[in-house]
Amino acid sequence: MKKRILALVMTALMVLSLAACGSNTKQTSNDTASTKGGKDVITVGFSQVGAESDWRTANTESMKSTFSEANGYELIFDDAQQKQENQIAAIRNFIQQEVDYIVLAPVTETGWDTVLKEAKDAGIPVIIVDRMVDVSDDSLYTAWVGSNFELEGKKSAAWLDAYLKAAGKDKDEVNIVDIQGTIGASAQIGRTKGLEDAVAAHSNWKLLSKTSGEFTQAKGQEVMESMLKQFGDKIDVVYCENDNEAFGAIDAIEAAGYKVGLDGDMIVMSFDCTKAGLTDTLSGKISQNTECNPLHGPRVEEIIKSLESGQTVDKKKYVDEVIFSFDDSVKSLSIDGTDYPVTKLTQEILDKRAY
């Protein structure tokens, strides 16, 4: 009798555990897919920085269209509104939901050790996208894909140097203001460094001011207004760390009665090369624009597919990016022994821009 009761209990436990397996088969990174309508579904929790810029909107769209239901994914998307504490809460939530993969676009580089350790302990692979994390143990994330932000900064500074030479102005005093991105974000750190290194290498370049515009148009405009109040037409170059800041800066400069452009009062430089940014580059309001490519969805998917099939993935992968300018006085830049072409923007190129 006792044996019969034991057998019944064992059978009931087996039935229960089989039912649990059927509803969510996510166990380890080698066994991640759950099933929906007979199809394997991979659950991805994506913590996005926010919606601060056109670049970010394009990035979100790339992630959402890649990790769609039709492609076999369940995407849990969280917009952190540029706040790290929101991103940490989102990651904890993803861990609780036992997602198969966590994708993190971190707002700043530092402050991730604890929460990424929690994800690692839960056996959930973390893929970092766009900006980097600065952690003491790099096994806390599986892979990173994004831009070489310092190289972007070097490209812009090298363009300015080459442009001034071509224009015969390389001996003039050059007064620069830097509207920085979100302080502590890789995109800010790299782009600011690229400029500061170049300023240090040119005795006639002066960095009058650097202030964060938080990668937004509104803040970019506000910062530019205050820089104009302080320095007025002493400013020769406005180095904006993204397109949206450049839009705000241009509005402020024009409202103050100055002309932007190579033949105007101030040269505006930018990063991203979004469609709106390139529209201003084609018109000459932005004189030079260094690309930062936001289309990371397929790149992250490639990493997930490799992991699903048991392959090893690159720990870090940089995206190739180009440089556009309004005029053709600079055709290429040599940086650390590598040549980078500079493309004079045309309507045809702009028409083909996807974001």
Binding site for ligand AHR (CB under 6 A): 52-53, 55-56, 130-131, 187, 215, 242, 271-272, 292
- Residue 101 DSSP code: E
Residue 176's SS3 state is strand
- Considering the complex, state which of residue 276 and residue 292 has its C-beta at the smaller distance from ligand AHR: 292
Shortest reach from residue 246's CB to ligand AHR, in Å: 10
Shortest reach from residue 343's CB to ligand AHR, in Å: 19
Find out whether 300 and 129 touch, Cβ atoms under 8 Å: yes
- Considering the complex, state which of residue 43 and residue 293 has its C-beta at the smaller distance from ligand AHR: 293
Sequence-distant (6+) residues with CB within 8 A of 352 are none
Shortest reach from residue 196's CB to ligand AHR, in Å: 18
Cα separation values, 343 from 74, 276, 325, 330, 351, Å: 40, 17, 6, 9, 15
- Considering the complex, state which of residue 33 and residue 319 has its C-beta at the smaller distance from ligand AHR: 319
- Considering the complex, state which of residue 125 and residue 181 has its C-beta at the smaller distance from ligand AHR: 181
- Considering the complex, state which of residue 26 and residue 285 has its C-beta at the smaller distance from ligand AHR: 285
Shortest reach from residue 143's CB to ligand AHR, in Å: 17
Distance CA 142, CA 308 (A): 13
Please list the alpha-helical segments (H only) found in 232-353.
243-255, 275-283, 297-308, 347-352
Shortest reach from residue 304's CB to ligand AHR, in Å: 21
- Considering the complex, state which of residue 131 and residue 154 has its C-beta at the smaller distance from ligand AHR: 131
Range 173-192 burial, b when 16+ CB lie within 10 A, else e:
ebbbbbbbbbebbbbbbbbb
Shortest reach from residue 213's CB to ligand AHR, in Å: 10
Between vectors from CA 142 to CA 145 and to CA 183, what angle results, nearest 5°?
Answer: 50
